[in-house]
Amino acid sequence: MRSPGDVAPTPDVGQRLGSEDIVIDVGQLLEKVETAAPIDAVEAVAAALGEMLEATTVTLLIADFTGRAVVRLTSAELVDGARGRGIEQAETLPLAGTVYDQVLRTQEADVRADGDGAVMVVPVTDRGDAIGVIELALPRYPSAKEVADVRSAAHALAYVVIAARRHTDVFEWGQRSAPFALAAEIQRRLLPASYTCEAGQFTLAGWLEPASSVGGDTFDYNLDRDHLQLSITDAVGHQVDAALLATLLVGSLRNGRRGGMDLAEQAAYANDALDQHAPSGQFVTGQLMRVDLRAGTAAIVNAGHVLPLRLRNGRVEEVQLRIEPPFGVVPGKTFEVQPFSLEPGDRIVFLTDGMQERNAVRLDVARAMADTADLHPREVVHALGAAILEETGGDLRDDATMICLDWYGGPPRGRTTEQGADPGRASPPA
């Protein structure tokens, strides 16, 4: 059995080393999920899939919160070096240079001969959000149809994980390579359930690299029939005080948005909430953006925040916006809604000042954007996060948060998808 970093030649997926195609019944897999407890849902799918394929092992490796590792969860046996909580085991495996990294980047299955059998690794993805991979050890080389069936099962497993997370902390625990401080726990609850979203007219991905003394950064987005809305915010201070201030701001923005307020009303409502409920002198910088998907136009509120960057026709530049006071500074403030230029092919990166200040000041974000122009937004934000960690020696003094938005334009429409991902948007192999 090869280790994660081994490289082996990949035969043609159509090559066969044995019997007729085995039919994988996705409906039967889901029935197994329904009869299992939420904590056992993934293992139930793995066991059923393994039985159908006569696999010796079937393992889910879920993406770690760092974005730089995957985690193998098991309750069946003790694993050397793994974290434990009761019978639960979580083994963290660095991604760099592994087949898992390639599968997550390219969103393509990897099938490699292993003695008389094969090892198959397939992505587990929903709308571009790379949840993890499934790894299977098979007694023979699979046919192209079997690979396609396993990919369908992996796509179904993405929904199983999403649903099971609502009922158990095991996945959340497993994805944490290090314990969260209280401030980080609060901050985590403010982020969207999925950090990546592919749609017909755009793809976006967000990421947050927390400082050692966690600040109050957040990002958020929402998609309805006619609009995409997103926000990026940075609460003053650190630790729990900053996290609580961010909670007040994000809660007011979501409440206003869900109550049908337009962009200016949401900004004013959030500003008033801070004025009424936050300690004196506390404020939050931020940007609120709304894209009209039918008109293909965008507007933005800029409350004292770092200017976004735009990659257009190979050139990176700051998007010039008028800067208004942060939320919570001027009681009763009415915020200006500014037009925001969008053209098909644009890539916009929204930042917090942790990407540009203090010990990260030497990081050339514009150059990093240009260097990652061929990557999916999911990999772009990971690359920017890795770059700032390298620049600061891993000692972030402020949260570094970013959203990458790729705008394709055109009318509202569905997207091209294969088992949870658009193959035309995937990153090339490393």
Domains and CATH numbers, the chain: 26-174 (3.30.450.40), 182-407 (3.60.40.10)
What is the pLDDT at residue 212?
Answer: 65
Name the helix (H) or strand (E) containing 145: helix 144-164
* Token pair 């090339």: residue: 428
Backbone angles phi, psi at 298, to 5 degrees: -140, 155
CB atoms within 10 A of CB 162: 15
Amino acid at 92: T
What is the pLDDT at residue 13?
Answer: 37
Tokens standing for residue 73 = 């969860």
- Cα 18 to the center of its chain, rounded Å: 39
What is the pLDDT at residue 296?
Answer: 96
d(CA 90, CA 10): 29
Q: Coil, strand or helix: which one is 1?
A: coil
Average of per-residue pLDDT values in the chain: 89
Backbone angles phi, psi at 319, to 5 degrees: -85, 115
What is the pLDDT at residue 22?
Answer: 66
pLDDT tens series, the chain, 430 aa? 233 333 333 344 333 334 456 667 777 777 877 888 888 888 888 888 888 888 999 999 999 988 899 999 887 777 777 888 888 889 999 999 999 999 999 999 999 999 989 999 999 999 999 999 999 999 999 999 999 999 998 998 999 899 989 999 999 998 988 888 899 899 999 999 999 999 999 999 999 988 766 779 999 999 999 999 999 999 999 899 999 999 999 999 999 999 999 999 999 999 999 999 999 999 999 999 999 999 999 999 999 999 999 999 999 999 999 999 999 999 999 999 999 999 999 999 999 987 765 544 557 888 889 999 999 999 999 999 888 888 888 777 778 899 999 999 999 999 889 999 999 999 999 8
Q: pTM of the predicted model, to two decimals? A: 0.90
What is the pLDDT at residue 20?
Answer: 59
Q: What is the chain's Cα-based Rg? A: 23
What's the order of all strands across the beta sheet hosting 83-85? 83-85, 88-94, 69-74, 57-63, 129-138, 117-126, 110-114
d(CA 48, CA 108): 23
What is the pLDDT at residue 213?
Answer: 66
